[in-house]
Structure formats: C-alpha cells, structure tokens
A and B are shown apart, each in its own frame.
Chain A
Amino acid sequence: MRIGVIGIQGNVSEHVDALKRALFERNEQAEIVTIKHKGQVPTCDALVLPGGESTTLGKLLVKEGISDEIKAMHAAGMPIMGTCAGLILLAKEGDEQVRKTHQHLLGLMDIHVNRNAFGRQRESFETKIDLFFLETPYNAVFIRAPAITYAGKDVKVLGTLDNMIVAAEQGNLLALAFHPELTSDSRIHQYFLDKVFR
C-alpha cells in the first residue's frame, strides 16, 4: 500500500505525520510519499491534496504534468482526500474569485466552491463541528477557508457550519474545508484510510 501526498506547497509534512499516526493507531502498514513531479501519482493507491494556496497549487500541478495523472487515477477509482485548497482543486466549478484568477481545477467532484467563504485571516477560526460519521464533535481549524455552495445528487454532505457545507464525499473522494492535519485528532484521516483499506 502506497499513499501519496501532493508536496508542491502548503501543509505537506503535517499530512504525512497525521497519516503515519493514523496508520500506527489502526496497526496497518503503508508507505507514504510526497509528490512534486510527474510519474509518482500512478504508483500510488491513494492520494492527499493538502491545503496551501489553490492558485499556486493549480498552476504547478499543470506545469509539472501531475494534474492529468490525478484525473486518470481518479477515473480508475483511487481514493483522494482534499483539504482546504485541496477541496477547491477537487471542485467542478468555482465562484467569481476562482474564475477571475484562471484557477486550474481538477473538476473531479460535482460541487461548486466559494474560495474564501469565511473571510480573511482575521476571520479565521477554530470551532467544534458535527460530522455525520463521528459520534462526538470535531475541533475543526478553518484558515481563510472555502465552503461548498452546491452539491450534486451523487455528493453526500458530511458536515455543515452556518448552513454552508464544509465536509462532503462522492464515492472515493473526500473533501474538507478545514485542516484535520493541524490537530492531533486523527478520526478524519481514519475515515479516509477506511476508504483506502476497504
């Protein structure tokens, strides 16, 4: 088993550490690789798209030739988790802000996103939210976070905040507006690993 973390920019090492912790807890083995170049995605069994700046990530995913590899592996059924900027990249369509920056989207998930739905950094926050697959609330960290403004019929909403969708899944795709890699609570990485080891 091999899990790739897109390592171009952003919260990469935090996701690697969170995956290692989650694997240890469930007593399973997997190799974790960070990916900056072409040729590595097709060797993986699962993929994480970390948070960072979506404009930067989108540009370099195309330039490095990784974008098409992700699309192909998605078509082949690979589980993919996107957090924050990663959620934006998974989306089919963005808001005005996303369009005007010519943001590259992978377009894998039938969702529309609002890039900075919760405002600027001074409005960033942490708060406890309810997620449908967890029994107790999860302390979620929102940093200049996006939100899902539309979810297609194949998309299952997993959590909302102030009537905005902040967690959703569609088949093997898992999208989160917040940062599960910034806290020590590994339940979301576990939920993703359930898809990987299924």
Chain B
Amino acid sequence: MMELEKLRHGTELIKRGFASMQKGGVIMDVTNPEQARIAEEAGAVAVMALQAVPADIRKAGGVARMADPQIITEIIESVTIPVMAKARIGHFVEAEILQALGVDMIDESEVLTPADDKFHIDKTRFTVPFVCGARNLGEALRRINEGAAMIRTKGEAGTGDVREAVRHMKQITGEIRALAGKTKEEIMLTAREIEAPVELVIETAKLQRLPVVNFAAGGVATPADAALMMRLGADGVFVGSGIFKAEKPELMASAIVEAVNNYDDPQKLAEISKGIGAGMKGISTDTIPPEQALQTRGW
C-alpha cells in the first residue's frame, strides 16, 4: 500500500493548482444529473451543483441555503469533470459537509443568504479549495488572505445582465494597473485604504495580476458576453442561469465553450453565435432595488 503519511493533501500548491487547471474554461450551474451531463458533453471544465439556478433563487425569495446533499451526490456520480457547490458566506459547517461529500471546490457565495455578518469562512483549514466573489481589489485580497484559491467577479447573479460583472472586472484590473509605478510607501498606504494585507498588495503590484486565478461570473448569458469577459482579462467564465434558462441549453452551452477559446476572433464569434436560440430573458440590473442586490452581501 501507499505510505499515506508521505502524501501531502490540501497544500496551497494543490489548491491553487486545481484552480489553475480550470483556466480558459467554462463552469456551468446545474441542478440535476441530466443538466450535468449536458454541460460535460458541451465541454464545461466543471459544473456547479445547485438546488436552483440564481434566477430562480432570486424569484423564490426566502432563505437560500446549501443544496440538498442528495442532489450534489447524484451530480457527482453522473459526471467525470469536477463538481463544485455553494456554501453560505461564513457557514463553515455547510462547507465541511460539502467537503465530506467529495465536492472538488466550494463557492462561498453571495447568491445564498449569508450566515455570518462579520466573518467569512477560514478557508485555510480546509483540504478542498475555495472560490469567492469580489467587486474590487480589497475584497479579492481579503478573500485570498482567508485562503481562497480562486476569485470570481460577483457581478449580479441571476440577471443575465453582464454589466455588473464588467464593472467588477474593470474595477479590479484598473486598481491593479494603478499599483504599477507606486513606491513601497504608497503601496502601504493603498493597502490601508483598501483594507488588504500589505504583502498581498505588494505581490499583486509585482505580478500585475491577482496572485490566484480570476474568473468572471454574475450575468454572463451569451457567447459574446463570455468573450467580452475574457477580453477584459478573465481567466475563465462561470455561467449560472445563462445556460439552462436559455431557449436551447445544449447549443448555448457548446457555443459559450467555443467562444471562450475564440474570444479574440470576431469572425469566429459571429459563426459561433449563429442559430443557437435566444439567451435567457433576464432582468436589467437598473430595475433591481438595492436591498435585492446579491453583490452587496459579504465585504
């Protein structure tokens, strides 16, 4: 037998390495094994197992919690690609349950109702990696400091309106660009202002990108939306309601996967976007009252 004590599990390298393996890929929200197989067949790099897609969570109201473990297990058994699932912000027991189920990455997500109004989960004590949402550099670096192996924009989930994801991606990349050319004392001041650990701000300034993989999420609904987020510097894309709320989910899923590989080729994007049916109807983020915005959950 293998000498188990010699195998090092859940190290920072293993967690960030997993996130890195997802680069250039599309991660799709699914609510049952059939949808999971459609996503895998379409070329998704992973699926996010959910009880309901964000558009339906938004419609239903009430308290949104971790998905039923039965659903998650059925999805895990139905595909060979990685399966992710969401835990409420701060709800470390939901996260422990997801880890026990064999989920490959946990999304500590603002789409669910937060369980703690002061603390996010201490992600360093888990073996499985986490992804967390962020709207700006300070928020992204605080999550990385707590152990997140991947960052995604929050956007505004369940709307099919990409504007907030664009805003958050430009905010983060803009703040990183602004760090270039700053002196060490100016960077220390910035770190204080954005409430982020100074070492991580220095590392980000040097790398000129986040120290972990940075995906786009929250409102991506078409191949063009996905390509737009890649053009803005995303390492990959989460598509939530955008696939299975579309008129023809199989075609939309395949087209978004191809669009991410061809994001810089408008001619090919035009071909890819033809005859794939209508995108999700969606809801303009203009019309959402502030108290119903999901992106303001977490800090």
B59 at the binding interface (Cβ < 8 Å): no
Given contacts A10-B23, A56-B44, A126-B11, contact A120 B261 (CB under 8 A): no
A172 at the binding interface (Cβ < 8 Å): no
How distant is the Cα of A123 from the Cα of B22 in the complex, in angstroms?
18
When the two chains form their complex, are residues A52 and B45 in contact, meaning their CB atoms are under 8 A apart? yes
Which residues of A sit under 8 angstroms from B104, Cβ to Cβ?
A: 120-122, 144
How distant is the Cα of A167 from the Cα of B80 in the complex, in angstroms?
22
When the two chains form their complex, are residues A10 and B21 in contact, meaning their CB atoms are under 8 A apart? yes
A112 at the binding interface (Cβ < 8 Å): no
Select B6's contact among A53, A121, A128, A141, beta carbons within 8 Å. Answer: A128
Which residues of B sit under 8 angstroms from A64, Cβ to Cβ?
A: 261
B8 at the binding interface (Cβ < 8 Å): yes
**Among residues 99 to 131 in chain A, which have CB atoms less than 8 Å away from a CB atom of chain B?**
100-102, 115-116, 120-128
How distant is the Cα of A141 from the Cα of B22 in the complex, in angstroms?
16
A30 at the binding interface (Cβ < 8 Å): no
Which residues of B sit under 8 angstroms from A120, Cβ to Cβ?
A: 82, 102, 104
Who on chain B is nearest to A103 by CB?
Answer: B80
Which residues of A sit under 8 angstroms from B40, Cβ to Cβ?
A: 55, 101
* B1-32 vs A, Cβ < 8 Å mask (1 yes, 0 no): 11000111111011001101111110000000
Select A126's contact among B13, B41, B44, B79, beta carbons within 8 Å. Answer: B13
A97 at the binding interface (Cβ < 8 Å): yes
Given contacts A55-B81, A141-B13, contact A125 B21 (CB under 8 A): no
B156 at the binding interface (Cβ < 8 Å): no
When the two chains form their complex, are residues A121 and B82 in contact, meaning their CB atoms are under 8 A apart? yes
A189 at the binding interface (Cβ < 8 Å): no
How distant is the Cα of A141 from the Cα of B79 in the complex, in angstroms?
23
When the two chains form their complex, are residues A125 and B7 in contact, meaning their CB atoms are under 8 A apart? yes
Which residues of A sit under 8 angstroms from B43, Cβ to Cβ?
A: 55-56, 59-60
A72 at the binding interface (Cβ < 8 Å): no
Which residues of B sit under 8 angstroms from A182, Cβ to Cβ?
A: 13, 17, 20
Which residues of A sit under 8 angstroms from B45, Cβ to Cβ?
A: 9, 52-53, 56
A31 at the binding interface (Cβ < 8 Å): no
Give the size range of B's interface with the partner.
35 or more
Who on chain A is nearest to B99 by CB?
Answer: A122
When the two chains form their complex, are residues A122 and B9 in contact, meaning their CB atoms are under 8 A apart? yes
How distant is the Cα of A59 from the Cα of B42 in the complex, in angstroms?
8
B258 at the binding interface (Cβ < 8 Å): yes
B221 at the binding interface (Cβ < 8 Å): no
B127 at the binding interface (Cβ < 8 Å): yes
How distant is the Cα of A161 from the Cα of B11 in the complex, in angstroms?
19
Give the interface of A toward B (CB within 8 A): 7-14, 36, 51-53, 55-56, 59-60, 63-64, 84-85, 97-98, 100-102, 115-116, 120-128, 141, 143-144, 161-162, 179, 182-183
30 contacts between A and B (CB under 8 A): A7-B24, A12-B23, A12-B24, A36-B261, A52-B24, A53-B21, A53-B81, A55-B43, A56-B25, A56-B43, A56-B81, A60-B258, A97-B80, A101-B79, A115-B80, A120-B82, A121-B18, A121-B129, A122-B10, A122-B102, A122-B127, A124-B9, A124-B18, A126-B14, A141-B13, A144-B21, A144-B104, A179-B17, A182-B20, A183-B13
Q: List 4 tightest A-B contacts by C-beta distance, closest first.
A: A121-B104, A9-B24, A162-B2, A125-B7
Given contacts A124-B14, A125-B8, 20 further A-B contacts (CB under 8 A): A8-B24, A9-B24, A14-B20, A53-B46, A55-B40, A56-B45, A60-B258, A101-B80, A102-B41, A120-B82, A120-B104, A121-B18, A121-B128, A122-B9, A122-B102, A125-B9, A126-B8, A126-B13, A127-B8, A143-B21
